[in-house]
Structure 1
Amino acid sequence: MAALQQTPITFQSRSPPSTQITAKFNPLKPLRLSFSGGFSSLKIPNLTVKLSGKGGGAAGAKMADSAAGSYASALAEVAKSNGTLEATSADMDKIDKLFSDPQVYQFFVNPTIDLEKKRKVIDDIVSTSSLQPHTANFVNILIDMKRIELVKEIVKEFEVVYNKLTDTELAIVSSVVKLEAQHLGQIAKEFRN
């Protein structure tokens, strides 16, 4: 039996809000779609698409209730106001990768390590990874406020805020066969139409 593959695809709505189609669905049950036209050459035995709801709704309500959500919202507002929302999103991906390393995370959350030493490391990271100045400042604020342990949660919450600001939904595509990049592109294209 083939193993079930799950691949997230992010897509943006290209239609104006007045022409968008709204469908009610049970978030606990996957939304099953069948495709025609351009998908005739794509043979996928069982394809399930489940909207995760990260663009708003219940997830948005959860975000506002947490400290990580407040930090993420503040960073997103700064990025939006200075026109660097896309670049800040890329910065958050870099920060996520950086803090996914357990040694890096432990270094920054260790209360016995001097704040100046942590700031110096952040300055080195900023110079090598070309983070936006406000993103670097944001990480320094987390260090100064002794809230750096929230960084992983902030990254997740930032994605929620970013998706809401850019009218982006996250769909999880499940297939019993491995999907190639071209197939994922075709699926994303079908959603855009």
Structure 2
Amino acid sequence: MAALQQTPITFQYSSRVTAKLHPQNPLKLSFSGSSSFLKLPKLTVKITGKRRGGARMADSAAGSYAQALADVAKSNQTLESTAADLEKVEKLFSEPAVKEYFINPTISIEKKRELLDEFAGSSKLQPHVVNFLNILVDMKRIDLIKEILKDFWVVYNKLTDTEVAIVTSVVKLDSQHLAQIAKGVQRLTGAKNVRIKTVIDPSLVAGFTIRYGSSASKLIDMSVKKQLEEITAQLDLGDIQLAV
């Protein structure tokens, strides 16, 4: 893919204390607090799809953008804080209304950048992360944001020797239990770091499951649902008809 250079982007955003979505306009934010203006530095993104930082990305637009952002974060020694920023971005774009807003061709780029400015101010995103998001909007590639984030985590995990464990439970587990799970996964995999992602699933009845490994292919199932399924299979209750 040919190299791409983005011209410097200068914009302003307002700091805020509170923000909420208006029912009649889910993307109109209301702010309180003083305003400030910030000139953000230039971010140049080169799209190459080459091997960088010990992690090989697929020859795709999303993979190339993800690798470029990881390269910037690594070069300015902000890989961890960039990852934290992208968790906020991931949460923002998990809202269907937000995604629809940014991919809507009838909404101007200026309006989309205004919303990004507000989000940047409220979330205290780093300048290079904000510039990167604006580049995606300007180039009309913001529709790739979920794929870019997915590929970024692949690069990040390889650069930091991080194993991702998806913990699914009926209720939210406390930090102590999650820390114990992380240590267990670390012993199993030998990874330097373990990043926990949590999912709530009431159908488990009780207990929890842990998925880890490549494409979350390995499973540890400690749920009551699994135990009930095993008991049912052992008793072969499928052919039993209960008297009424």
Q: Is the 8 A contact 2:102 2:112 kept in 1?
A: yes
Does the alignment pair 1:78 with 2:77? no
Paired residue for 1:185, among 161, 179, 182?
179
1:24-65 deviation line (CA, Å, top 9, x unaligned): xxxxxxxxxxxxxxxxxxxxxxxxxxxxxxxxxxxx998423
Question: What SS does the aligned partner of 1:111 have?
Answer: coil
Q: CA RMSD in A?
A: 2.7
Q: Which has the larger radius of gyration?
A: 2
Paired residue for 1:105, among 99, 123, 147?
99
In structure 1, the partner of 2:46 is none
Q: Which runs of 5+ in 1 are unaligned?
A: 1-59
- For 1:173 and 1:129, the matched residues in 2 are separated by 26
Cα distance, 1:91 vs structure 2 = 0.9
Higher helix share: 1
Cα distance, 1:67 vs structure 2 = 1.2
Residues 151 and 173 (structure 1 numbering): CA distance in 2 closer, same or farther, change over 3 Å?
Answer: closer
Q: Which runs of 5+ in 2 are unaligned?
A: 1-53, 188-244
- For 1:182 and 1:61, the matched residues in 2 are separated by 32
- TM-score for both structures, normalised by structure 1: 0.61
Cα distance, 1:179 vs structure 2 = 6.7
In structure 2, the partner of 1:144 is 138
Cα distance, 1:114 vs structure 2 = 0.8
How high is the sequence identity, in percent, across the aligned residues? 66
The number of residues matched between the two structures is 134
In structure 2, the partner of 1:117 is 111
Cα distance, 1:186 vs structure 2 = 2.3
- TM-score for both structures, normalised by structure 2: 0.49
Superposed, 1:1-193 pairs within 5 Å as 63-172=57-166, 181-192=175-186
Question: What SS does the aligned partner of 1:64 have?
Answer: coil
Residues 87 and 61 (structure 1 numbering): CA distance in 2 closer, same or farther, change over 3 Å?
Answer: closer
